[in-house]
Structure 1
Amino acid sequence: MRKPVGSSKDMIDAERIVFNLIHSKQNMGIWVADIKRETTLPESMIKKSIKNLQTRGEIKEVVNIKNKSRKHYMAASFEPADEVTGGNWYSEGKLDKEYIYELRQACLRYISRSSVASRNGISEFIIKGGCFPGATTAEVDQILENLVLDDEIIEEKSTGYGDYENFPVGRVCYRCKSKGEVGAMASIPCGVCPRINLCSPDDFISPKNCELYQKWLNF
C-alpha cells in the first residue's frame, strides 16, 4: 500500500495536501467539492494537483453510482467500496442487467433441480460454483427475495417431512412454483404457525399431532 506522506519527493506542498486528503478517504474516495471544502487551497491549485497526481498514477477517478455526474477521486492503492460502485450489480457505472439475469437463472435452476433448497445451499452453489466470482451471500439473498416477489419461487419453512426431511423444522426453504399453485403461506399451515420453532418430529408439538397439518394433508 502506498504511504500517504512522502510517496513522491518532487510532490509540491499542494499536491501532498490533496493526495493525503484523498488517501485518508481510503476505498470510499472523495468528491472534488469536498476537497475544496476540506482544504484552504485555491481551486486552480486543486485542479492542477489532481491532474498531476492522476498523470503520475497516484490517484484515479472513479464513478460513484449515487452521484455519477460528480468528479470522485480515490488513491490508486485502493479498490472502490461496493457503496461507491454498486457492487456486482453495476459495471462501469451501469446496472449490469445480464449479470442479474444470469444469477437469477442459476438460482432457479438449482432450486428446480433440488426440488427444495435452503438459503445456505443456494448461496454455497452460487459462490463456490465458480461461475459468479465475487458474488456475495447478500446478493443471493436479494435475488431470492426478488424471485419470491416475482412469484417465481415459493418461500416456506421446513416441516421436517417429505421433501423437507433434510432440513431442520422451521428452516426457511425455497422451491419453484408450479402452474396453478397458490402462494407459500396458503399452501401449508406450517408457514404461518406461531409455534413452528417449537415443532419437531418427535416432540410434544409435531406434525404428527397437529390437527391443522393433518387436515391439510387430507385436503
Structure 2
Amino acid sequence: MEKQEQQIYNLLCSTSEGMDMAAIQGIIEMPLEDIVNSINVLSTKGYVEFLQSSKGIVYKAIADVEANLLGKLDGDERIIYQFIKQADNKGIWTKDLKFKSNLHQTVITKVLKSLESKKIIKAVKSVKNSVKKVYMLYDLTPSRDITGGIWFTESELDVEFINTMLNACFKFIQSKSIPKNKDGIFSPNYSGYPTAEQVLKIIREAKITSTEIELDDMQSLLDCLVYDGRIERLIGEEIMYRALPDLDSQNYYTSIPCCGCPVYNVCHENGPVNPVNCEYLKTWLQF
C-alpha cells in the first residue's frame, strides 16, 4: 500500500460511519485528484467500499481480513458480495441482486455458486416461501423472519415441540387456577394467576428444552392456548392467565361457591349471610 493510500485508509479506519469527500479533504492535505486516485486504488484492492447516505457517497474502510478476502474476488464477485453483505442476516434473493447489480442472471448464478463453494456466502430457505432462497454471509445466523424462530426446524413447523411447550404452560397455569383443596374456593381478591413473565420463568427453570425461549415466544404460546379455549386472559393492572375447566370432566355443581360454603345452611334472603352480599358469588358470576 502506497504512502498516500495508507494515509487515507488509516483516516477511514478511525470511524465506523465512513466519511464523505469533503470531510476527507478537510483533514488530509492532498490534491483532490490524488485523493480520488488513492480511494479508487483502495477500492480495487478491497480496502474501501462506497456507500450511499443522506450526504451522498461516503467512503468506508474495510477490515484487513475482509480486504484480503475481497482482493481474491473478481469484479462481479465483489459486487454481489457487497450487496449480500448489506442485506445482513435478513438475506437477499436473486431477483433483488439482479435489480441492484444490473448483472445478467447467468452471471449472478455463476457468482453465487462460486461464493458458496468458497463458503463465503450461504443459501437459506425462507419459511414464508419454501421455494425462495435468500443469500447471506456464511457466518451469519438468519433472522427469525427467515427461519420462523424456535418453532421451526429445518424450515418445517415442529408440531411435537410446540405441543410439548403448550402442555407445559397449561399445566403450570392450571396449577395456579384451581385450589389444592378440591372443595376449596379462591377468595374474591385472589391474585395468584400467573403472568406471561412468570410462566416464562417457570418454563426456563424447568429446563424442558435447551432452546432459548424469549418473552415473545411465550406470548405466542399463551395466545395459542387462549384461541384453543384452554386458558383465558384476565385484564387488570397486569395481564394474568387462568385455566378454563375441561368441558368433559368438570363437575360444575362443585365449582359453584355455594356448594363449598361452610355457612350455606344459614344463607338466605334477609339472613345473616345472603346471596345479595356474598362476595364469592358476585365474583363467580362475573367469570
- Give the TM bin, normalised by the shorter chain: 0.7 to 0.9
Q: CA RMSD in A?
A: 2.7
CA distance in 2, matches of 1:105, 1:3: 48
1:124 pairs, out of 187, 198, 201, with 201
In the TM superposition, 1:16-165 aligns within 5 A as: 16-115=78-177, 116-132=193-209, 133-157=211-235
TM-score, reference length from structure 2:
0.56
By relative contact order (CA 8 Å, sep 6+), the higher-ranking structure is 1
Distance 1:45 1:212, change over 3 A: farther
- Establish whether residue 174 from structure 1 lines up as the match of residue 241 from structure 2: yes
Equivalent pair of 1:53/1:59 in contact (CA under 8 Å): yes
Amino acid at match of 2:116: Q
CA distance in 1, matches of 2:197, 2:284: 32
Amino acid at match of 1:91: T
Match of 1:193 in 2: none
Higher alpha-carbon deviation: 2-11 or 91-100: 2-11
CA distance in 1, matches of 2:74, 2:116: 14
Amino acid at match of 2:195: S
Please tell me whether Structure 1 or Structure 2 has the larger radius of gyration of its CA atoms. 2
Amino acid at match of 2:201: E
CA apart distance, 1:6: 4.1
Distance 1:70 1:215, change over 3 A: closer
Gaps of 5+ in 2: 1-62, 178-192, 251-255, 257-276
| Secondary structure at 1:70 match in 2 | strand
TM-score, reference length from structure 1:
0.72
CA apart distance, 1:217: 5.1
Amino acid at match of 2:242: R
CA distance in 2, matches of 1:92, 1:73: 16
In the TM superposition, 1:3-22 aligns within 5 A as: 5-22=67-84
CA apart distance, 1:128: 4.5
CA distance in 2, matches of 1:4, 1:128: 41
Match of 2:269 in 1: none
CA distance in 2, matches of 1:23, 1:14: 14
Distance 1:3 1:47, change over 3 A: farther
CA distance in 1, matches of 2:104, 2:65: 25
| Secondary structure at 1:154 match in 2 | strand
Distance 1:150 1:122, change over 3 A: same
